[in-house]
Chains A and B, each alone.
Chain A
Amino acid sequence: MIRVRIKFTKHGPIKYLGHLDVMRYFQKAIRRAHLDVKYSEGYHPHQLLGFAQPLGVGITSDGEYLDMTLNTLPGGGLQGVLQALNDVMHEGIEVIKIMELTDTKDKAMTQVAAAAYTVRFREGHAPASGWEEALVNFCTADTINIMKRSKKGEKETDIKPMIHEVLIMDDTICLILTSGNEGGLRPELLLHAFLQSRGLEATPATLIVHRLDTYQEGVDEEGRYFEPLIPDGSKFYREDPLILYAKGS
């Protein structure tokens, strides 16, 4: 038995697939790829898959993760798994990385700590000029209390601790926000709150959101950091949040 984690991207019209449908999509793809994946017991066996973090409908991504358990590896080992999947993948979804999980405690779903996004305003939806400074001001406040839904219903929550980076370059806002099972901050929620604070309406189409990657948390001699769920050497140390408008860059 071997547990593996894959990283995949989601681009183009396939961004309209909701999380459940992406799960269904992978279940079918894994069958088409003839991978020897492990199933649950019982009359209606299902594959033992674990997705890192649901992606909202309409959002594209370069950093989605999925854990699965295989009974045996195909020829070609881990790369063989990646190849077999890509051979049956749909345009718009590509498996770009794979790694073996050695620690049974490693579960994508529970490891997720943060995610990085780029956000732009859809054509015709950008607020009047000057919004960049306003957003910086909004995010540098000591507390940012908004109504937020949690498992226990809607309540006022301070989202400030969930903001790790807000970097505005040209028309693009780069964000690193807390993410994960225990409650996280979706980029739409932050920006809709911002727009609302300026008396502006937001619709589901106001923002173009793209997820860059999904992170887990680690700690080393330099401090606590975020790194991709399949680590690639890059580390983002969590000190005070970085909130910046890189004007004219």
Chain B
Amino acid sequence: MNERLALSDEILLSVSKPERYIGGEVNSVVKDKDDVKVRFAFCFPDVYEIGMSHIGIQILYGLFNEMEDVWCERVYSPWTDLDLVMREKNIPLFTLESQDPVREFDFLGFTLQYELCYTNILQVLDLSGIPLKASDRTWDDPVVLGGGPCTYNPEPVTDFFDIFYIGEGETQYRNLFDTYIRAREEGVSREEFLKRCAQIPGLYVPSLYEVTYNDDFTIHAVTPVSADVPAVIEKELCTDLSNTYYPTKPVVPFIQVVQDRVVLEIMRGCIRGCRFCQAGQLYRPTRERDPKVLMQQAMELLDSTGHEEISLSSLSSSDYTGLKELVDFLIDECNKRHVNISLPSLRIDAFALDIMSKIQDIKKTSLTFAPEAGSQRMRDVINKGLTEEDILHGATEAFKGGWQKVKLYFMLGLPFETDEDILGIGDIANKIAAAYFEAVPKEERKSGSVDINVSTSFFVPKPFTPFQWAPMDVPEAFAEKAGLCKHGIRSQLNQKRIHYQWHETDQSMLEGVFARGDRRLNAVVLKAYENGCIYDAWSETYRHDIWMKTFEECGIDPTFYTTRVREDDEIFPWDHIDCGVSREFLLREWKNAQRSAVTPNCRERCSACGAGRYSCGCCPTNSNGDGGVCHS
């Protein structure tokens, strides 16, 4: 462990949770900086407990550190208390492993997991002493790089990044590092290096593209500055997950973090094309990891970490074809080891209930359903293939098995929503309660009774989804809809058994602005940061008033990005990024939504979304098959 900490005892004893800043966790990697050619600082721009829970960083951290000439370290946003101290005392931001200043590194890579982390990116750059704007940087500064889901539309933060990496990280980083090492050896300029990077598949160098606007501020064109820069940047992906690197010695935090367990990544992508869901489109095609490989990884991971819990990660575990085989193995192995299994929400059916009864205390755990919308018509609009029948049947079976707690997730503000759809939420919750009273005779209702928790969030249209054309509701409409939903619930017979909670709207609005934002927003992000905004994803630190004032100062109307109706042929700020799924497909799906027409999932029938070109996973063009998934 590094005895030499960047922060003095005085500071560490005065801030909350000093363990966030000392590094040295089990399995963290320390190398000799003189033995490596590339020093990479990997940043999740949020507090340690959130950032340490992210599997993506663990993967790339492990992968990079396997490379002999690379040393990857971690850095997170200092919490607001330390932030103040560092500014006051002029302490440069440091990485956890070496405790060296970030500014000394070759690369500073950010993962952009949600839009509301943008001011934290500026915080990290600022505290590191790195010029906020890419155009002001020299070879004395690290190359600043962004990856993660938000980089599919990184336009609101292009000013602050030298490079974006579009897609899955396992494929091109080595190429990037070699390009970097060569460029430094040859002594070429930073600009020349970035130009070379633009030739690497998946790398987007925003300074090499020019954006022109129409009079109404919609995009006229996004054009590369020279002919040798590719006009479209296509995402990277791993075609064979079973043979893709996965870390078996992840860093084990000292403090309790959000994801304090072994995580097995069983699958990437999702066969279901729910029309509001960005992940469902971005990670196509669906690719599975061989259960045999996962079993091996599970044991190695438990051995190397000592975690007391293991969990499966995927977008939709019920669709993983090897689930039974894997879970049977895990139940057996984990029983021996006294390790808990936590399964992400499965679709509730006989199989799921059987597994759940083996690994959880039924009385204490909730059944989770995510119908997302209150009426069948609305579920058809969003292409959520979950019917009321499915839910009631699943719930009834579960009630008979002893469960009493139900969680229901819905969205408000979906396109083409009517009052009936919203009132339907109360309806379905009531029917579930009724199903309980029917399934469980009075004398068997031992402790308490059925307990239904309904929660609604506000729909935010995301790029690269069929709803990228959809107008978002104004905050006032959200509040009204939440009120209506509440009224709908309160007028039900079993309303005493139903609890309702909804999420705040202001942050959803800001998320909506950035999700479909353009380069004009760079100025707003910068100004908001200068005005004091930071940790916008935290409701206790989010300052809506400052954001609104900042939009005004910058002369930008946020509703341009949220509530505006977009034409079918509008050029979007993110159209020069290719996420694998074609715009034609998304538009087709947008039209299908307007007709409430359901589109089958990838296993039922291929809808030729465009991702078939990768010839892997669930796509019919995959000649190798993907481990037992059948295609028609």
Given the known inter-chain contacts A12-B1, A13-B2, A13-B22, please indicate yes or no for A31 contacting B302, CB distance below 8 A. yes
Q: Is the CB of A12 within 8 A of B3?
A: yes
Considering the chains assembled together, what is the distance between the CA atoms of A44 and B18 in angstroms? 29
A204 within 8 Å of B (CB atoms): yes
Q: How many Å from the CB of B355 to the closest CB on chain A?
A: 14
Q: Mark A96-124, 1 if CB is under 8 A from B, else 0.
A: 00000000000000000000000000100
| A45: B residues at CB distance < 8 A | 338
A29 within 8 Å of B (CB atoms): yes
Q: How many Å from the CB of B7 to the closest CB on chain A?
A: 10
B227 within 8 Å of A (CB atoms): no
B174 within 8 Å of A (CB atoms): no
| B252: A residues at CB distance < 8 A | 28
Q: Is the CB of A122 within 8 A of B9?
A: yes
Q: Mark B541-567, 1 if CB is under 8 A from A, else 0.
A: 000000000000000000000000000
| B254: A residues at CB distance < 8 A | 14, 17, 21, 24-25
Considering the chains assembled together, what is the distance between the CA atoms of A203 and B11 in angstroms? 11
Candidates A13, A42, A57, A208; contact of B3 at CB < 8 Å: A13
Q: Is the CB of B305 within 8 A of A39?
A: no
Q: How many Å from the CB of B79 to the closest CB on chain A?
A: 14
Q: Is the CB of B1 within 8 A of A90?
A: yes
Q: Is the CB of A204 within 8 A of B5?
A: no
Residues 10-69 of A contacting B (Cβ, < 8 Å): 12-14, 16-18, 20-21, 24-25, 27-32, 34, 39, 42-47, 57-58
A91 within 8 Å of B (CB atoms): yes
Considering the chains assembled together, what is the distance between the CA atoms of A39 and B337 in angstroms? 10
Residues 323-371 of B contacting A (Cβ, < 8 Å): 337-338, 340, 359-361, 364
Considering the chains assembled together, what is the distance between the CA atoms of A12 and B23 in angstroms? 12
Given the known inter-chain contacts A21-B255, A39-B338, A90-B26, please indicate yes or no for A122 contacting B18, CB distance below 8 A. no
Chain A residue with minimal CB distance to B307? A28
| B306: A residues at CB distance < 8 A | 27-32, 88
A242 within 8 Å of B (CB atoms): no
Point out which of A13, A17, A20, A203 has the most chain B C-beta atoms below 10 A from its C-beta.
A13
Considering the chains assembled together, what is the distance between the CA atoms of A243 and B307 in angstroms? 47
Candidates A20, A21, A27; contact of B308 at CB < 8 Å: A27
Chain A residue with minimal CB distance to B256? A24
Q: How many Å from the CB of B262 to the closest CB on chain A?
A: 11
Q: How many Å from the CB of B305 to the closest CB on chain A?
A: 7
Considering the chains assembled together, what is the distance between the CA atoms of A46 and B309 in angstroms? 11
A92 within 8 Å of B (CB atoms): yes
B504 within 8 Å of A (CB atoms): no
Q: Is the CB of B14 within 8 A of A205?
A: yes
| A25: B residues at CB distance < 8 A | 254
B294 within 8 Å of A (CB atoms): no
The secondary structure that dominates the B interface is loop
Q: Is the CB of A58 within 8 A of B13?
A: yes
Considering the chains assembled together, what is the distance between the CA atoms of A11 and B333 in angstroms? 35
| A14: B residues at CB distance < 8 A | 1, 22, 24, 254
Q: Is the CB of B307 within 8 A of A57?
A: no
| B307: A residues at CB distance < 8 A | 28, 31
Chain B residue with minimal CB distance to A28? B306
Residues 184-232 of A contacting B (Cβ, < 8 Å): 203-205, 208
Q: How many Å from the CB of B421 to the closest CB on chain A?
A: 38
Considering the chains assembled together, what is the distance between the CA atoms of A220 and B401 in angstroms? 61
Q: Is the CB of A13 within 8 A of B1?
A: yes
| B337: A residues at CB distance < 8 A | 31
| B18: A residues at CB distance < 8 A | 16, 57-58
| A92: B residues at CB distance < 8 A | 1, 24
Q: Is the CB of B308 within 8 A of A122?
A: no
Point out which of A17, A20, A43, A88 has the most chain B C-beta atoms below 10 A from its C-beta.
A43
Q: Is the CB of B305 within 8 A of A28?
A: yes
Chain B residue with minimal CB distance to A38? B338
| A24: B residues at CB distance < 8 A | 254, 256
| A46: B residues at CB distance < 8 A | 308
Considering the chains assembled together, what is the distance between the CA atoms of A20 and B254 in angstroms? 10
| B364: A residues at CB distance < 8 A | 43
Considering the chains assembled together, what is the distance between the CA atoms of A173 and B252 in angstroms? 37
| B256: A residues at CB distance < 8 A | 20-21, 24
Q: Is the CB of B13 within 8 A of A204?
A: yes
Q: How many Å from the CB of B491 to the closest CB on chain A?
A: 38
Candidates A13, A32, A57, A205; contact of B304 at CB < 8 Å: A32
Chain B residue with minimal CB distance to A32? B306
Considering the chains assembled together, what is the distance between the CA atoms of A24 and B253 in angstroms? 10
| A205: B residues at CB distance < 8 A | 9-10, 13-14
Q: How many Å from the CB of B362 to the closest CB on chain A?
A: 9
Q: Mark A56-95, 1 if CB is under 8 A from B, else 0.
A: 0110000000000000000000000000000010111000
Chain B residue with minimal CB distance to A208? B9
B12 within 8 Å of A (CB atoms): yes
Q: Is the CB of A58 within 8 A of B12?
A: yes
Residues 1-41 of B contacting A (Cβ, < 8 Å): 1-3, 5, 9-10, 12-14, 18-19, 22-24, 26
Considering the chains assembled together, what is the distance between the CA atoms of A21 and B255 in angstroms? 6
Considering the chains assembled together, what is the distance between the CA atoms of A34 and B10 in angstroms? 38
Chain A residue with minimal CB distance to B337? A31
Q: How many Å from the CB of A199 to the closest CB on chain B?
A: 21
Considering the chains assembled together, what is the distance between the CA atoms of A13 and B1 in angstroms? 8
Considering the chains assembled together, what is the distance between the CA atoms of A205 and B15 in angstroms? 11
Q: Is the CB of B360 within 8 A of A43?
A: yes
Considering the chains assembled together, what is the distance between the CA atoms of A47 and B360 in angstroms? 18
Residues 206-226 of B contacting A (Cβ, < 8 Å): none
Q: How many Å from the CB of B204 to the closest CB on chain A?
A: 39
| B438: A residues at CB distance < 8 A | none
| A20: B residues at CB distance < 8 A | 256
Q: Is the CB of A21 within 8 A of B19?
A: yes
B303 within 8 Å of A (CB atoms): yes
Chain B residue with minimal CB distance to A47? B338
Q: How many Å from the CB of B194 to the closest CB on chain A?
A: 38
Considering the chains assembled together, what is the distance between the CA atoms of A93 and B307 in angstroms? 19
Q: Is the CB of A28 within 8 A of B14?
A: no
Q: Is the CB of A203 within 8 A of B303?
A: no
Considering the chains assembled together, what is the distance between the CA atoms of A39 and B252 in angstroms? 22
Point out which of A16, A27, A46, A92 has the most chain B C-beta atoms below 10 A from its C-beta.
A16
| B3: A residues at CB distance < 8 A | 12-13
| B360: A residues at CB distance < 8 A | 43
Point out which of B23, B255, B304 has the most chain A C-beta atoms below 10 A from its C-beta.
B255
| A17: B residues at CB distance < 8 A | 19, 254
| B255: A residues at CB distance < 8 A | 21
Q: How many Å from the CB of A53 to the closest CB on chain B?
A: 20
Chain B residue with minimal CB distance to A88? B306
Q: Is the CB of A204 within 8 A of B1?
A: no
Point out which of B3, B13, B24, B359 has the most chain A C-beta atoms below 10 A from its C-beta.
B13
B interface residues with partner A (beta carbon < 8 Å)? 1-3, 5, 9-10, 12-14, 18-19, 22-24, 26, 252, 254-256, 302-308, 337-338, 340, 359-361, 364
**Selected A-B contacts with CB under 8 Å, 26 pairs:** A13-B2, A14-B1, A16-B18, A17-B254, A18-B19, A21-B255, A24-B254, A24-B256, A27-B308, A28-B252, A28-B307, A29-B306, A32-B305, A39-B338, A42-B361, A43-B340, A43-B360, A45-B338, A58-B13, A58-B18, A92-B1, A92-B24, A122-B10, A205-B9, A205-B10, A205-B13
Other 10 A-B pairs with CB < 8 A, given A14-B24, A31-B306 = A14-B22, A21-B255, A28-B26, A29-B306, A32-B303, A32-B306, A88-B306, A91-B1, A92-B24, A203-B14
Which 6 pairs across A and B sit closest by C-beta, in order of nearness?
Answer: A28-B306, A31-B306, A32-B306, A91-B1, A205-B10, A43-B361
